[in-house]
Amino acid sequence: MKVICGKEELLRGTQIVQTIVSPRSTLPILSNFLFETEGDKIKLSSTDLEVGVSCYIKAEIVKEGNITIPAKRFGDIIRELPENQDIEIRADETNQISIKSGKSHFVLMGLPKSDYPVLPTFPEDKVFTIPRQELKTMLRRSVFAVSTDETRYVLNGVYLITEEGSLKLVSTDGRRLAFVSRQGLDKKLAYHAIIPTKAVNEVQRVLSAQEGDEETKIGVTENQIAFKIDSVTIISRLIDGVFPNYDQVIPKKHERQIKLKVKELLSCVRQMSLLTSDKSSIVKFTFGKNILRISASAQGLGSGEVEMDVDHPGTNLEIAFNPAFLIDVLKNVDEDEIYMELSNALTPALIRPVKDKDYICVVMPMRV
């Protein structure tokens, strides 16, 4: 095999596939990525047996071939090579890889393609599309509430549902829940899939690196989900299990609905979070007549209080929250105002943007 390509293009492709590679894998071949020619392009692929990523980069193909290359070492070498110089990569029958650029020359030992796991292909027959930026927003608004408790494995991902022409994403860790939806899908689509957090993070990373708002293809099979983002394909196993009935958690009634300014509330909660500790991560909301007092105290640290003017003519209410949960919600609201819907100090709070009914967050209160 012999190919010639530019540093920028090669570095871009290498960075896309390198994040999946684990240098501590029990299988040495999984520390490598697959480098192969396909037509007039190079295809780079990597997998950890749970998530797989592949992408195409432009190159001059002098001689076709394939090889697997040590990912970290190769990436470090390409990063340090001189700018504006073509890079020549050769591989011979002994799996020796030669890398030349300008006056620099490196030799690495690879492994044959035959040793590498076979990567699944994109399921073209079971596909729907969504604009790139819209998918990016939906994932950002949901992934923060995913559980990290491995004993509750069905909560270790984002739950995707397509039904009756809508796409819904749900995540929860048992103490908070995020729900986001959009309309406009084919009404015949009916999928239920729990996407692992690692795959969601990988999709977000690739989406953030892409410009424009082209359609992203999403394909779902019985045990896998695939995303095609321009020249990049991400395929992941699904989490096997039944996601809990999230609709039961979302409050259907409330005794009071309070409109709050997002930036001001976020600032106030962040201020009071400075006076919480690992043992006592609680901020208290006290709603009075047209005022909200947010306070916190921790033994050995001190205490603090900040006030906000609000439209709240009702009776007093005290309720406490984990400040990190509120901050996560508020950081992902793209509007200026939210509604906080409450009943009492022991029932969940529902938070949603004033003008967007398709985004809902539920936060359980803390016992003081």
The DSSP code sequence of 284-314 is EEEEETTEEEEEEEETTTEEEEEEEE----S
pLDDT tens sequence for the chain (368 residues):
999 999 999 999 999 999 999 777 778 899 999 999 999 999 999 999 999 999 999 999 999 999 999 999 999 999 999 988 999 999 999 999 999 999 999 999 999 999 999 988 898 888 999 999 999 999 999 999 999 998 999 999 999 999 989 999 999 999 999 999 999 888 888 899 999 999 999 999 999 987 777 899 999 998 999 999 999 999 999 999 999 999 999 999 999 999 999 999 999 999 999 988 877 799 999 999 999 999 998 888 889 999 999 998 878 999 999 999 999 999 999 999 999 999 999 999 999 999 998 999 999 999 87
Structural domain spans, the chain: 2-115, 127-247, 250-363
Are 259 and 333 a contacting pair, CB within 8 Å?
no
Q: Characterise 37 by phi-psi region: left (phi > 0), alpha (psi -120 to 50), beta (else).
A: beta
Of the chain, the end-to-end C-alpha distance in Å amounts to 67
CATH for the stretch 2-115: 3.10.150.10
Same fold: 127-247 with 250-363: yes
How many other CB atoms are there within 10 angstroms of residue 84's CB atom? 8
DSSP three-state, residue 235: strand
Joined together, the tokens standing for residue 171 give: 């995540």
Can you spell out the DSSP letters for 33-68?
EEEEEETTEEEEEEE-SSEEEEEEEE-EEEE--EEE
Architecture of domain 127-247: Roll (3.10)
On the CB side of 244, CA atoms within 13 Å amount to 15
CATH 3.40.50.2000 fits 250-363, yes or no: no
DSSP 8-state code for residue 115: G
Joined together, the tokens standing for residue 362 give: 């539920």
pTM for the model: 0.92
- What are the CA-CA distances from residue 249 to residues 179, 182, 364 (Å)? 11, 20, 10
Return the H-helix or E-strand segment holding 136: helix 132-143
Are 111 and 74 a contacting pair, CB within 8 Å?
no
Are 130 and 167 a contacting pair, CB within 8 Å?
yes
Are 207 and 215 a contacting pair, CB within 8 Å?
no
